[in-house]
Homo-oligomer: A and B are copies of this chain.
Amino acid sequence: MNEFELITQLTRSLPTNKSVVVGPGDDCAVLDLGLPDRLLLFKTDAVVEGIHFTPDTPPEQIGHKALARCLSDIAAMAGTANSALITLALPRKFDSDRVEKIYAGMNALARRYDVAIVGGETTVNPERMLVSVALLGTVARGKCVLRSGALAGDAIYVTGELGGSLAGRHLEFEPRLAEARWLADHFSLHAMIDLSDGLAGDLRHVLKASHVGAELLATAIPVSRSARAASKAESSAKTPLLAALTDGEDFELLFTVASRDAVPLLDAWKQAFPKVKLSCIGKITSGEGITLRDQHGARKLAAHGYIHFT
């Protein structure tokens, strides 16, 4: 059983209650606790030494990444982050200076978004450090954007540029909180997700939740400079396009809007966020899966995430 199969199995029979609006399976859980104008967002995310960062990663960046990943999930719901608890699992002998710098990275990011760090705990994990963040946020009632609302005919947008994140961006990205709230305030977003598994994989999560398909235009996919550089540096590397489709850890937003909103949105975005690229990369279809259109025609993308191109 792999991780995805295990999660499917486990989430089949979880306890629920009357405050649950959205349970497992979206970027955050959504809870209605009776706040007059807002719903609560609830999310956890962990980074593990040797998996998400290395012993050599500057500690401030470990802290930044741990919190920024969670904030990116709040962004994907068009929410506002409120407060965080930090779980730090450490070997018995730890470098207190490194731990303080991890917190410094986390604290600086938290302050920029008015997120309170209200506690947490340190515990023992003898072989490697693990940092888990639990985050609480809110979203205005009626403004929360799920993965499940994409409709055939929608235009598909992504922010920023994709691929090659492991060259550095994954440690220093700024979560798209301001952009996501602006989008939800000014347009009717049908579906949204943050890109953590890679464009192809995460788009598939949206398609599955919305029971639709997608057609992407290869030339419209914004490929990052570092994905191009990685491709040039090594002949065995992925092509830049494949990197943009599958690299993961981009932490950009993918969202869909009705086609009639596509042009006005792009115009308004350029005024609001002149420094952040926004690309219309294709459209939602009534079919299934992802079709990629390039100069050779249209072909189906095979697996989710790490696909093989021929």
Contacts and interface: CB of A to CB of B under 8 A. Distances in A.
Interface of A: 1, 3, 6-7, 9-11, 13-17, 19-20, 22-25, 29, 31, 33-36, 38, 40, 42-46, 48, 50-51, 82-83, 85, 87, 89, 94, 96, 99-100, 103, 107, 110-111, 114-128, 130, 132, 134, 136, 138
| Copies in the assembly, this chain | 2
Contacts of A115: 15, 17
Nearest to A31: B83
B31 A33 contact: no
A59 to B, nearest CB: 13
Given A15-B117, A24-B117, A48-B123, 17 more contacts: A1-B96, A9-B96, A15-B107, A15-B114, A20-B118, A22-B118, A24-B118, A29-B119, A31-B82, A31-B136, A33-B35, A36-B36, A44-B120, A46-B89, A48-B124, A48-B125, A87-B87
Contacts of A3: 122
A193 to B, nearest CB: 15
B29 A40 contact: no
Nearest to A20: B116
Given A31-B118, A118-B23, A46 B123 contact: yes
A89 B40 CA distance: 25
Contacts of A9: 96, 100
22 contacts: A1-B96, A6-B122, A10-B100, A14-B117, A17-B83, A17-B115, A23-B117, A24-B119, A24-B120, A29-B83, A29-B118, A31-B82, A31-B83, A31-B136, A33-B38, A40-B136, A43-B85, A43-B119, A44-B121, A45-B121, A48-B123, A51-B124
Nearest to A17: B116
B15 A111 contact: yes
Contacts of A34: 35-36, 38
